[in-house]
Structure formats: C-alpha cells, structure tokens
Structure 1
Amino acid sequence: MPSSIVLGATGITGREIVKALAADQEKWGKVYALSRSQKDSYPSHVVHRPIDLLTSAEEMAKSLEGVEGEYVFFAAYMEQAEEEKACEVNGKMLSNFLKALDLTNASSKVRRIVLVTGAKQYGVHLGQPKNPMLETDPWLTDSSVWPPNFYYVQQDILKSFCAEPKHNHISWTVTYPNDVIGFAKGNFMNLATSIGIFAAIHRELASSQNEKGFLPFPGSESFYTRFDSFTSAPLHAQFCLWAASSPRAANEAFNVVNGDVQSWQDLWPRVARRFGLQIRPNQFLHAERDEYSGLQKTTTLKTKPPLSILADEIGLRGRVGESKLEQRINLEAWSKLDSVRAAWDRIVQREGIERDGLQKATWAFCDFILGRNYDLVISMSKAREMGWTGYQDTWRSLADVFDELEAEKVLPKTRA
C-alpha cells in the first residue's frame, strides 16, 4: 500500500485531504499529516509531524526524517498583504520543501505531487475574467499590467523540479478551486464562518428588539443575480485523490468546482431560512438600520480586468469596463459596531461558543467575495473528459459546514 504526505494538514483544503486519505486505508496506507501543530485527532495510520515551512530546506529535512510516500499533496499557504511578498514566501515554502525531499532521499519514492492553488490563476481578484474560465486561458504575466501571482511562481517551481532528470519518475498535478466552502479548526478564513456570524447576529438583534428578523445581503446588488462557482473542500479532497492516482491527470492542471453554477439570489434566501430569518421583498430599495448608514462602499479595482487580455481575440475591444467591489454593508466596518459587538457578547455568554469568532473572521475576504460586480463561471469540462465524475450541490455543502461550525461551537445553534 502506498503512503502519502500532506502539507498544510490543518488548513481547510489540507484537512479534508487527510480525512479522505484516512478513510480508505486499504488503498492509501499510511498518511503523514504535516503542519505546525496538530489540531485534529487521527486514526493510528495517520501520523502527524510538525514542520515549519518558513525555515530552510536543511531545517525541513530534519522534520522529514523517516517521512516518505508515493503521493505528496501540497496544500500549504501563507497569506501576505503584498503580492510580491506572497510570491517570495509561498515560492520559498514549496521550493525548500522540494529540496528537503531530495536531502532526505524521500524524493526517490515520490510518484506524483499534487499542488493546490486556486482561481487567482485567472485573476478573479483583479476583475472580470473571461467566462467560462478554462485551463487553457492565458496567464497574466505582463508585469507592466498585472501584479505578480504566486500561483504562477509555485507552478513553475514544481514543473522545473519534476523536469530534472533525477526526478523523471515524478509527475505533477495542479488544482484550481474557487471560493472554497469548508472548515478547519482555528481557521476563520472561510466564507461560511463569516456569513454564519453575520446571520446569527442579525437574528440576535431582531430577537432582542422583538422584531421580525431580516437578513440583508451585504454585497453587490449586481452580483446578487450574477453567477459564481464554488468548491466544496471535501469534494476537492476527493478530486485530489483521483488526480493523484489517475494516469491521465499526470502533468495537468484542473479547475475543481462543485459542478453546479450558483447565484446568491438562490443561496441567500436559503441562508436566511437556515438561521430563522427572512429576506425583505424590497431589500435593495429598503434603507437598513440607521446605524448601518455610512457603511456603503464602492471600490474600483485598480488593474485592467483580466478579460481585457482576450478582448481583441473575442471581439470585445472597447467593451471591457472597469470592475468594482460594491458593498451595501461593509462587513469589516460592520463588525466593529458597538451594537454588533454587544449582540455577539450576548450570544457567546448564552451559548458558550468561541468568543474570538467576531474578531478573527476574515471580513475583508467576505466583503470581496460578496462585493464583486462580475460573474465567475468555471468550466469542469477538462476534468469530466478525463474521467472525473464528482459533483456536490453548493447549498448542501454550505449547510453542512454551518452544521459543523455549530458542532464545533464556532456558531450558535440557530437552525430554525
């Protein structure tokens, strides 16, 4: 039975990869879960080993003594405020780890390395991409127009490593998930946590004032009826296992999304019902609470939209406008309101949940995800053609994470 190595084992995507590998011991054998610290309990065939990916290859090699496997899943990521720094830090993390595999001679046993990246591949953080997004779309590498992209840096590092003659037995696969729906202990950079806290507080505010509870959509009115593609973290994990063992997936990059194309006009009313709230019939005409006045924010994204790189080829010269973030309620500012903090304190004291949730939730990330005024449609055709059949209903994946967040006492039990 082969062994596997998972980097970033406590992150949202890495945690699910470990769980998926552990669930099928007969096929995947021993699993080495590598991260700074252990946050989950594991069965006996999953071994946690601490590692600091910010250290040198030589230091990492000491942590990797006795660690070897045929399959490596690199799902580690270190957020940085500046793109240049993100390239430097995340690039070194991967390159030093790969060097460490050589130093311990573990690379002689590796057969495939799966690198987890994301839809920043297409510049979705920069503005309107071409829809649907395809793996053959051009990279945004002109430094006079586009900021650096650490996903490009990592892919180049991995491809160069596998191309070395001494590594001709190693192939690579890259995944491009988008707007990942999942949960990891201590990790608040996920959409479900922020939305869940936002909804729970609105329920509390309504209850304390004996009002009918409404859940306002805080993002772009335009995006509310546009389309997005999401990735369930458990589904992504299953894809990674498929990609690691599929001969056709060798040396290929793949979009990995749920398979449905969703919109907040469908999801948001379901979120409201899940938390015992309603949607106002005229929500985009209704003035929210007086204390929310001044929380509206519109930001024009600075770079050219990624669609512009293909504008001439597809006949849209002169028709690609600026992309914007439009927040009806800027969540970063909302989370600091006295009334919001007081409502959260009441919930924490009554329900015994984690106090840090309101403070640590990544509100700026949620502002961005909900505030975009452009569609994100990501094609799964390439993976389908190569034999991948996985699918996950996006609402079901979001509801499942809400349940998990409640069980872990990150959110209060608010199911209607």
Structure 2
Amino acid sequence: MAKIPSPSVALVVGVTGMAGLSLAEALKKPTALGGPWKVYGTARRSKPGWFPSTLVDRYISFDASNLDDTIKNLSPISNEVTHVFWVAIQVRENEEANVSINSAMLKNVLDVLKSGTSSRLCRVTLQTGTKQYMGPILDPSLGNQLVPRDPPFQEDMPRLPYPNFYYALEDLLASYTPSFSYSVHRSSIIIGASSRSVYNSLLCLAVYANICKHQGLPFRFPGNRYTWEHFCDVSDARVLAEQHIWAAVSEKAKDQAFNCTNGDVFTWKSFWTELCKVFDVQFVQFDEKEKFDVVEMMKKNAPVWDQIVEDHGLFRTKIEDMITSFDALKIVLNFEFQHVSSMTKSRDFGFFGYAGTLRSIEMWVRRLQEMKIIP
C-alpha cells in the first residue's frame, strides 16, 4: 500500500499583520505550493473583527515573549507543525531593546516546537527588511548617524557596524541548523491590508487623505523633493507571501536570504498621483515652501479621525496607535537616496512573483474599505 504523505502544517506567527494575512490567504489556496496546508495563525491579541474566521484552521492568541505562555499554547501542536512563517515584530525604544525582545520571541517559539522527540519542524521562513542595508533608521540615538549601502541593495552586501535585530534573528536561525533549514525574506515598504501592522504606510496615507478630505485641506506630499522625483520600490503583501511559500518548499532556497519587492520602481510623484485618483482628492504639486511635519499634523487631527471612524462605523483605530508608523513614513519620504533593492538573486533561484505597484494601490485601498478600516 502506498504511503500517504504527511500533511504540511504551517504556523504563521503574526497572522494579523499585512504579510500574515496574505500568507494565510495564499496558503489556503488550492494551488498553494506544498499544499494542501493546515494553517495555525497566531498573534499577541485576540482576533480582530475584520479577520475572516475561515482563513485559518485555528487562531491562537499568546505572547511569544513569555516562555510560559508560549509553552502553554504551542506545546499541544508542537508535534504537528512542519513550517514556521515568521512575520512577527515588536518595536521598542531603541535597537538594542528590539534585538532583545524579537530574539526572545523567536527563540521561545522554536524551542517549544523543537522540544519534543516527535517534532516535524523542517523549515522556517523569516521576514526582515531593508534595514538590513540601511541600519536602525528609527533608533533615536543612531538614526542620524547611519551611512547606508549604495542602492540597489543586494543580498551579499556586508553587514553594517550597528546593532540590528534582523542580524540577530538571522544568526539565531542559523544556530539551529541542521535541525531545520530556513530562508530570510528582506521586504521593502510593505503594501497590504491590516489595522495591526506596526508599520503600515498605505493605512497612514489613507488616514491622512481622509482627514484632508474631511477638513477640506490640500493633500500635500509630506516628504522632500528627492523622494518626490527619484525611484523607490515596495513589496506587495501578496508577492511577499508567494516568496515565503516558494522558499519554504524549495530545496534550492534552503538557508538563503532573498530581497522581495514587486520588481518595479516608481517615483513618489507617480504614487501620489494614483493616491489622489483613488481617494478623489485634488493633486497638489510638490512645493518645498509648504514643508510640514506629517506626524505633528496627525497628532493634532486625532479627534478628527475619531469622528470619521464614528461617522462611518469603522473598525476602531486610533491615531495614537499609528504614530510609530507615521514616524517611519516620515523618514522614508525624506530619504536622500533611492530606496531600491535588486531582485536578481531571487530570479536566479527561481522565484518570479511580481506586482504592478501603481496598479495595486486601488486594490489594497478597496480591501481596507471592505474590511471597514477606512471609509
């Protein structure tokens, strides 16, 4: 009698973020590589109202930074999980603290899944990003001292001489080999749909556009002339999910790091033009004399957003909870270099996923509207 193959069992850690949601959706497709998949989705908080109940076989809420909580919640499935998709992140006051908390989370989960003699864990995919090449740009004590590598960013560029929790997580994964293999996915700015992502540029821009529309204010670009005119790239959450799954079942991708972008580039002027069409606001040419601080503007308009949420019966989000994301957006839109990553290695290894960035904006905005996160 032919042996029935063991099912693929995924643990998506951070399932309510932009990448996590797209991962769960991609894994549940009948055409998913390595499938059919049983999918466990985890997050620190309870399941938000916009998260489809049928998207995962089981939703598990626990704090991965707490070993006892991790043991309690993951031990019952530790002999099932074959693949971990790590798209979780916690952000602290500086990069040293980021190293500590994120390393503890990953180690706790891996140690629990590997603790039993019947562990089936064979592959872990780790999501990081272009801070790999730029350094800890959001660290208040280091952000102004950093000298990034020249773009386009390539995977074999040497590490920068600064603390970076991405480096720590890669090293932690490598320390478990050959117990299991892994892959690293260095995303650009992620475009997707969620109210739970620490960094969500599209949601920030949607909130900003809706406040401008509500107040009758011009929807001005809150960056510098360089980013307005020069190239940037982003990572569609669907492409990122595809790359994670491809690498999880590919022998060639074992123990490798890959950049993951849409495969195209854009100027923020063209991105802004598309945003204006989608949100039905007037396009305003960039004017350096109209420079303003988008973070301070959003703080002042927090009550306005509260009113918009109330008027439209939206899922309750608060400007105060988005400030970290607005801080990051402010930095990104004021770069003095082109934020572009090379996808050559990824293609050489056999991954050809892509998305048209400007075409995808409206789709993701409509998705946020369907989820009742924005009006």
TM-score by length of 2: 0.87
Q: 1:284 aligns with which of 263, 287, 299?
A: 287
Q: State the number of aligned residues.
A: 351
Q: SS of 2:232's equivalent?
A: coil
Give yes or no for contact 1:188–1:357 (8 Å, CA) kept in 2.
Answer: no
Give yes or no for contact 2:75–2:113 (8 Å, CA) kept in 1.
Answer: no
Q: Does 1:98 align with 2:110?
A: yes
Name 1:254's counterpart in structure 2.
258
Give yes or no for contact 2:201–2:329 (8 Å, CA) kept in 1.
Answer: yes
Q: Does 1:115 align with 2:121?
A: no
1:248-327 maps to which residues of 2 (within 5 A)?
A: 248-281=252-285, 283-284=286-287, 287-288=289-290
Structure 1 residue 45, shift from structure 2 partner: 6.3
Q: 1:78 aligns with which of 75, 90, 108?
A: 90
Distance 2:372 2:27 in 1: 26
Structure 1 residue 343, shift from structure 2 partner: 4.5
Name 1:64's counterpart in structure 2.
74
Percent identity among equivalent residues? 28
Name 1:313's counterpart in structure 2.
none
Distance 1:390 1:369 in 2: 24
Point out where structure 1 has 5 or more consecutive residues left out of the alignment.
207-212, 289-327
Structure 1 residue 188, shift from structure 2 partner: 6.1
Worse-matched range after superposition: 385-394 or 64-73: 64-73
Structure 1 residue 368, shift from structure 2 partner: 1.4
Distance 1:184 1:242, change over 3 A: same
Structure 1 residue 408, shift from structure 2 partner: 2.3
Name 1:398's counterpart in structure 2.
361
Amino acid at match of 2:173: L
Amino acid at match of 1:33: G
Name 1:347's counterpart in structure 2.
308
Worse-matched range after superposition: 30-39 or 377-386: 30-39
Name 1:4's counterpart in structure 2.
10
**Moved >4 Å (runs of 4+):** none
Distance 1:341 1:29, change over 3 A: closer
Distance 1:84 1:100, change over 3 A: same
Distance 2:195 2:295 in 1: 22
Q: Does 1:23 align with 2:29?
A: yes
Q: 2:20 aligns with which of 14, 19, 39?
A: 14
Bigger-Rg structure (1/2): 1
Q: Does 1:38 align with 2:52?
A: no
Name 1:139's counterpart in structure 2.
159
Distance 1:59 1:2 in 2: 25
Q: SS of 2:53's equivalent?
A: coil
Name 2:194's counterpart in structure 1.
184
Supply the RMSD in Å over aligned alpha carbons: 2.2
Give yes or no for contact 1:127–1:374 (8 Å, CA) kept in 2.
Answer: no
Distance 2:234 2:147 in 1: 17
Q: Deviation string for 1:191-246 (max 9, x for gaps)?
A: 0111011111222222xxxxxx7421111112111111100111101111111111
Q: Deviation string for 1:318-340 (max 9, x for gaps)?
A: xxxxxxxxxx2211111133xx4
Give yes or no for contact 1:71–1:112 (8 Å, CA) kept in 2.
Answer: yes
